[in-house]
Structure 1
Amino acid sequence: MDKKLFFEEQKEQSLVKSTIVSKYFDVWSKVIISTQKRYPNNSQKIAYIDLFAGPGRYKDGTVSTPHMILSNAVENEDLKNRLVTIFNDKDESNTKELEKTISEIPNINNLAFKPDIWNQEVGENIVLKFEKISLIPTLFFVDPWGYKGLSLRLVNSVLKDWGCDAIFFFNYNRINMGLNNDKVLSHMNALFGENQCEVLREKINKKGKNERELIIIEELCQSLKKYGSRYVLPFRFKDSKGNKTSHHLIFVSKNSKGYEIMKDIMARESTANNQGVPSFAYDPANFLPEQTLLFQLSRPLDELKDKLLNKFKKRKITMLQIYEEDNVDTPYIKKNYKDALSYLYKNDLIYAISNSGKPPRHGTFGDDIIVTFN
């Protein structure tokens, strides 16, 4: 599809993407600002950077992510006095339209810092700029049309500093094709790492499409972790028929709290869940009864129950410690752990008690409940 046509109307996938980003920004900013207020001698600013911002609106009038971020900020007393924003797009017509769109936001002049709009190609110059400075707490969003400009160095140039998280839209179709295209070898090396990219090509050779996708996403996540980011969380977007993956939204952080916040947001935006375990995917086909029935053939919560009994055998540990120790790189959210432990307790497979010596109340399983595994 031509890039110009993309902004003719907002697809549902784009709305879900913008919703996830704006919801995370809302919660993330509150956490950062709360921390800043405890240390008033430090910087009292936060930032939102979008390097492929687009025109700010789709042709049907629907607003995109930059508009959503700014519209919420002008209504928030803390945000409007702290928020620094940078919006970039190499297409000058997009930046001009974005300037116009931003100027029309009610009360936009109440922001202490006027949005800064750049018209640059994303590449070495921008990476060097971020690498050389110490950033204030920043949510960094990268939504390239394909893959040009997206690199491990770019993501890490922001994540190196305290309070900084990154979200980027990963065009799976184009990158899947690009991995075996020598003409874009430099872009693939920048995204996965040169050595890892060669290993990846060997791993996906002659693999089926589903296994190939899992390998590519896993390798990307591992490459990001090698750059020092402990927490990486992908969210998959399927095409309108649910036949194949179009994109992944990838969240990257060095902080467990950010990971937990984003995990809960992505779980709520998932189009399906199985035994309460979210799919971490937007898939229109999940709304079809026959697809939902097939999805229910797996039993992930039952698998979690068995996993907990084996992993924590002979241990005495709180519910919160179980969750923190086990949930990273799994599809399970905190509620899944509470549901699994409640089941195990009701069936006398574990012993559970609170600090005050009381058993868990019916239908609840608090963070501080102490669990003893047989």
Structure 2
Amino acid sequence: MQPRTTIWELEPHTAAKHEILRRYIQAWAPILSQGNFPHLVFVDGFAGPGRYSEGEEGSPVIAAKAVINQLRPIKAKVDFHFIELDEKRSDHLATEIGLLTFPSNVSAKIHGGRAFQDTFPEVWDSYASRPGRSRPPTFVFIDPFGFKIPFSNVVKVLSAPSCEVLITFMFEEINRFLSQGQQPDNFDDLFGCRDWREGIDIKLPRERVKFLHDLYQRQLTQAAGARFVRSFAMRNERNTMDYFLFFATNNELGLKKIKEAMWRVDESGTYTFSDATDPNQSVLFSAEPNRELLKRLIVGKFEGTEVTASEIERFVVHETPFRETHYKKVLQTLEGAERLIPIDPPANRRRGTYADINMKLRFEPKT
């Protein structure tokens, strides 16, 4: 529900989402800066007032500090754009941002009193590629209370090299208005197609959740052209679906880093994050991964074949909720049970190690 006050109470699910954002931007900025990108851009499309009622930091302050408080200063030029429709909130945000000390290579601009759908195209076009100047890598955080998120803007971001989006897909509100058959133009804009109408007649809640989730995920991959899309489900204390976080990128390292952020976020005990990209692989994020499930996924994919450790890692990172740090213990277990046989291993190899990522491994069929 949209707050009516300038600042409001921070909810546990928002705190967890902000922790994910903080961890990701802490990795994103130095990786790209060290990768010889001289210019980076961060856009917060629904920035808010910058602080909550008990003094907690909002997403603009969190993102800015994730850059300016690096142990090794970021060398690239970094531009922050904070878009906030409510003028009282944008004024409050200006005060919060004014309290920060920015190095000369980092700037922040607040776009107050204007909506995301009107402002973002102008911000985006201001960085258009020109002769001798390419578009800088851009991270766009789209975190609305409602669902006025033109899909055309998402397509713009994902069609450009080294640009990524993190989107809050407000399922509960979307589902409510969908049932009422209201705002068809807004839904056309949100999904970038008319196919959402098929969901109106789906009555079973579980099937409705899956339909809307899968449609938006399909649009990110097929219509927007994202190579990697992962979605994260947020359920409330009643175990009711609240919203999905969709992360979309064309960069494998970005995929690895968002997974790292998700697996490391502190659990509040009130809300539950899980990977929802594939309903057959739904995984709760916790201190220790469910390696039994990962083992089933790996064996199901490779049983009876010969593959390299590199191919296994690629499968884990690209096609499962798990990280590249999770699968080697699974391989150790399988090798110990004689279900995994190294082929022509190096003479000095220790059993249960997979340092040579090009070493062939044979998955024995279960007898």
Report the TM-score, using the length of structure 1 for normalisation: 0.81
Over residues 21-54 of structure 1, what are the superposed CA-to-partner deviations in whole Å (9 max), with x where a residue is unaligned? 1111111112211211xxxxxx511111111101
Over residues 63-90 of structure 1, what are the superposed CA-to-partner deviations in whole Å (9 max), with x where a residue is unaligned? 1111122223233354375211111101
1:229 aligns with 2:226: yes
Count how many residue pairs are aligned between Structure 1 and Structure 2.
341
User: How much does 1:6 deviate?
Assistant: 8.3
| Number of the residue aligned with 2:295 | 305
1:255 aligns with 2:255: no
| Number of the residue aligned with 1:46 | 40
Alpha-carbon RMSD across the aligned residues, in angstroms, is 2.9
Asked if the contact 2:49–2:93 (Cα under 8 Å) also holds between the matched residues in 1, the reply is yes
Asked if the contact 2:40–2:76 (Cα under 8 Å) also holds between the matched residues in 1, the reply is no
Over residues 195-223 of structure 1, what are the superposed CA-to-partner deviations in whole Å (9 max), with x where a residue is unaligned? 32133445xx122x233223321221111
Check 1:124–1:237 CA distance in 2 against 1; reply closer, same or farther (3 A cut). same
* Alignment-mate amino acid for residue 93 of structure 1: K
User: How much does 1:353 deviate?
Assistant: 6.1
| Number of the residue aligned with 2:167 | 168
Name the structure where helix makes up a greater proportion of residues: 1
* SS at structure 2 position matched to 1:123: helix
1:179 aligns with 2:178: yes
Asked if the contact 1:50–1:140 (Cα under 8 Å) also holds between the matched residues in 2, the reply is yes
* SS at structure 2 position matched to 1:46: strand
User: How much does 1:160 deviate?
Assistant: 1.9
| Number of the residue aligned with 1:265 | 261
Alignment of 1:122-161 (within 5 A): 122-123=116-117, 126-127=120-121, 130=124, 133-134=128-129, 135-148=135-148, 150-161=149-160
Asked if the contact 2:82–2:109 (Cα under 8 Å) also holds between the matched residues in 1, the reply is yes
| Number of the residue aligned with 1:351 | 341
In structure 2, the gaps of 5 or more residues are 130-134, 277-283
User: How much does 1:326 deviate?
Assistant: 4.6
In structure 1, the gaps of 5 or more residues are 37-42, 273-277, 282-293
Alignment of 1:1-374 (within 5 A): 1-5=1-5, 7-36=7-36, 44-76=38-70, 78-79=73-74, 82-105=77-100, 107-108=101-102, 110-119=103-112, 120-123=114-117, 126-127=120-121, 130=124, 133-134=128-129, 135-148=135-148, 150-202=149-201, 205-207=202-204, 209-226=205-222, 227-239=224-236, 241-269=237-265, 271=267, 279-280=274-275, 301-352=291-342, 356-361=346-351, 364-366=353-355, 368=357, 369-374=359-364
Check 1:81–1:4 CA distance in 2 against 1; reply closer, same or farther (3 A cut). farther
How far apart, in 1, do the equivalents of 2:26 and 2:161 lie? 18
Check 1:320–1:270 CA distance in 2 against 1; reply closer, same or farther (3 A cut). farther
Bigger Cα displacement from structure 2, 67-76 vs 7-16? 67-76
How far apart, in 2, do the equivalents of 1:329 and 1:201 lie? 30
Report the TM-score, using the length of structure 2 for normalisation: 0.83
How far apart, in 2, do the equivalents of 1:59 and 1:361 lie? 55
How far apart, in 1, do the equivalents of 2:79 and 2:119 lie? 21
Over residues 152-210 of structure 1, what are the superposed CA-to-partner deviations in whole Å (9 max), with x where a residue is unaligned? 211122222221111111211101112233331111112223232133445xx122x23
Over residues 103-135 of structure 1, what are the superposed CA-to-partner deviations in whole Å (9 max), with x where a residue is unaligned? 112x23x24243111121122563366368243
Question: Displaced runs of 4+ in structure 1, greater than 6 A?
Answer: none
User: How much does 1:269 deviate?
Assistant: 2.2
* SS at structure 2 position matched to 1:79: coil
* SS at structure 2 position matched to 1:114: strand
Q: Which has the higher contact order (CA 8 A, sep 6+)?
A: 2
